[in-house]
A and B are shown apart, each in its own frame.
Chain A
Amino acid sequence: MATVEIRGIKKYYGDVPAVNGVDLITREGEFLVLLGPSGCGKTTLLRMIAGLETPSEGELVIGGEVVNDLPPRARKIAMVFQSYALYPHMTVFKNIAFPLKAQRVERAAIPQKVEWAASLFGIGHLLQRKPRQLSGGERQRVALARALVREPAVFLLDEPLSNLDAQLRASARDELQQFQRRIGTTTIYVTHDQVEAMGLGDRIAVMKAGTVRQIGTPQEIYDEPADAFVARFVGSPPMNLVECRDYILGFRPEHFLPKGTHNGDIKAATFRFRVTRVEYLGADRLLYGTLGDALADQKVIARLPSTVTVRMDPATTYDFTVEERQLKFFALSTELRIQRRPL
């Protein structure tokens, strides 16, 4: 068990910064998710922790030891790659045994350890198969078993679910989390999928353009975004961001409801909302439209749960309200979160 400390890490490719000054400390046994759009530097950061890339600046500490100059094998980490990177010419057994042999684990102890790791992921019956004879989900489990078998201090996962179909991904997510809770190894997980991040992470670090914009629990990230980027990136559909005078006003689509839906005694702000399109999604309805009055023509989305049964028609204007404590304010220039303003 160990923690990972990232101190002022930078990585340049030529003059282009891929990671531009990241400070981050994981907690013992934590599931930390690095979340961000493509090209934000999250995979580069993970590869630097693994020792597959050398930082241009900064310090990496794993388990209290500065590891900048250590090769990957000396860092007590294990990594699962997006492609799984199974060794195609080896059987599942040999794939899982490979890190043990490389670390010169006693020969007699290897079969037992391989079977233990395989049984954890329910792939004991596949040990004699070659990777090409496995399904996507089975390959992913083999990759996890291979990473787990030498009991690393830190687990690094690079989008390990992105090659699975949607249904499999949901169940794999569930298994992955249960498995991490059980072994309690510090885990750093890279993804661009915010649903995955919200579902898996104890904490999420949201990255953009090589920097960390916010670190917090899924709830903190969702409810109290530190800037407009985080507000826009997390949540589907994203937070409505509306420019008013010198600031940006933000509210979640699910808090933007027809007048009268809220209890009468709650303080709420009222907006004129002209609906242009209605999307019926079963569990809820999405209303696309524009605001009226002073905020004329700014596009927003409302998300009505199926419990709200009021009839809504396109090309009609309604009064919508947002509870005042659900309104977020961001500076127009920096996009950073600011104090509450009068509307």
Chain B
Amino acid sequence: MDSSAQIKPAAANPVRAQRRAGSIFDREGWLGPLLIGPAILYIVLLVGIPFFMALYYSVSNTTAGSETMAFVGLRNFANVIGTPKFQTALKNTFTFALLSQVVILIFSNALALALQKDFRGKRLIRFLILLPWVAPISIGTIAWLWIFDSTYSVLNWTLRMIGAIQGQGFMWLGVPHLAMGSIIAVHVWRQLPLATVILLAGLSSIPKDIHDAAAVDGAGFWRHFFQLTLPLILPISLVVLLFGLVFTFTDMIIIYNLTRGGPYDTTQVLASLAFYTGIAGGDLAEGAAISLFLFPLLLAVALGFLRIARRTEVT
């Protein structure tokens, strides 16, 4: 009793001094808002305001340069939906997004499984695989532009050298199906690294004992993969798919750099159509209507996936 009574007052002073010095950081009521504030500001200024402006544009008759704006209801949507250009773009958007995500999921799973094994130079390979993700996308696609060039294509050159084709070779970006295939290939190249890294994280979160138990229980490669590994990384795979889908539905950089939607609109997607209509063509109202068309669908997809991911979550 005696000794503790002596210690107490001596220890209390420095504690109080410390609390005064770091008072804001010690109070959760202040620290929380302080930390999240910049993020909220960023989202409101750069995402929230443009989003609500787009919402309003889509029900107005505004154009680039006009100083007046009148409410016209859903007329823009009605005008747009009927056009063949829009319907082609809608179809292309789904083809582009779904096909590229299927390919990405298969490739990233295979790649993540391979990278999980121990081998020499694993870190270097991991780094190389991440490169397309960290390289600026415009520079990457310009390189692809040369790869697909009608005269200098290195693909055609290679095919000619190994004797697979003769003569001029393929017009990679000039023929409808080839053009769609080409932009899907570039999109896969671009998104594969992130998907692989996320899946790798998912794979390494599975305890080693589970794999050992499966080996002792007699599971071969396919049973092991389809009955254990895949179900266990399903929640994180869904997150990969969700990000991939939303990203693909709303992005147009690759298409803008490689095909500008051509040939004959066969690679035109809603995002690029919205850009060409609203920014290049100056019809802000219709552009906004096109770009918002998929918003309800994407929202539903996102909510649905997050629900499934939560339900299949395993611990």
Contacts and interface: CB of A to CB of B under 8 A. Distances in A.
Interface in B279-315: 312, 314-315
Given A83-B209, A102-B217, A102-B223, 19 more contacts: A47-B212, A50-B212, A50-B216, A52-B215, A72-B216, A73-B220, A78-B217, A81-B209, A81-B212, A82-B209, A85-B210, A85-B213, A87-B214, A98-B214, A98-B227, A102-B214, A102-B219, A103-B218, A150-B218
A77 interface: yes
| Chain B facing A: main interface SS | helix
B228 interface: yes
B208 to A, nearest CB: 9
Nearest to A152: B216
A51 B209 contact: no
Contacts of A98: 214, 217, 219, 227
A85 B314 contact: no
Nearest to A99: B217
Contacts, number: 66
A103 B227 CA distance: 14
Given A85-B210, A102-B223, A73 B216 contact: yes
Interface in B107-151: none
Contacts of B315: 88, 132
B207 interface: yes
A72 B210 contact: no
A71 interface: yes
Interface string A257-281: 0000000000000000000000000
A71 B228 CA distance: 19
Contacts of B73: none
A89 interface: yes
Contacts of A132: 314-315
Interface string A31-62: 00000000000000001001110000000000
Nearest to B209: A85
A252 interface: no
B227 to A, nearest CB: 8
B50 interface: no
A146 B216 CA distance: 11
Contacts of A83: 207, 209
A98 B226 CA distance: 13
A99 B213 CA distance: 10
A73 B231 contact: no
B232 interface: yes
26 contacts: A47-B212, A50-B212, A50-B216, A51-B216, A52-B216, A72-B216, A72-B218, A73-B215, A78-B216, A82-B209, A85-B209, A85-B212, A88-B314, A88-B315, A89-B231, A89-B232, A89-B314, A98-B214, A98-B219, A98-B227, A99-B217, A102-B214, A102-B218, A102-B220, A103-B218, A146-B217
A47 B215 CA distance: 12
Q: Which of B218, B227, B315 has the most CB of A within 10 A?
A: B218
Quick one: which of A71, A98, A103 has the most chain B CB within 10 A?
A98
Contacts of B213: 79, 81, 85, 87
Interface in A67-98: 71-73, 77-79, 81-85, 87-89, 98
A84 to B, nearest CB: 8
Interface residues of B, number: 20
B234 to A, nearest CB: 8
Interface string B139-175: 0000000000000000000000000000000000000
A47 B209 CA distance: 11
Nearest to B208: A85
A61 B215 CA distance: 19
Contacts of A101: 223
A103 B213 CA distance: 14
Contacts of A79: 212-213, 216
Contacts of A99: 217-218
Contact of A87 (B215, B218, B228, B312): B228
A339 B210 CA distance: 50
A72 B231 contact: no
Contacts of B220: 73, 102
A87 B216 contact: no
B209 A73 contact: no
The 4 A-B pairs with the shortest beta carbon distances in the complex, nearest first, are A73-B218, A85-B209, A85-B213, A102-B218
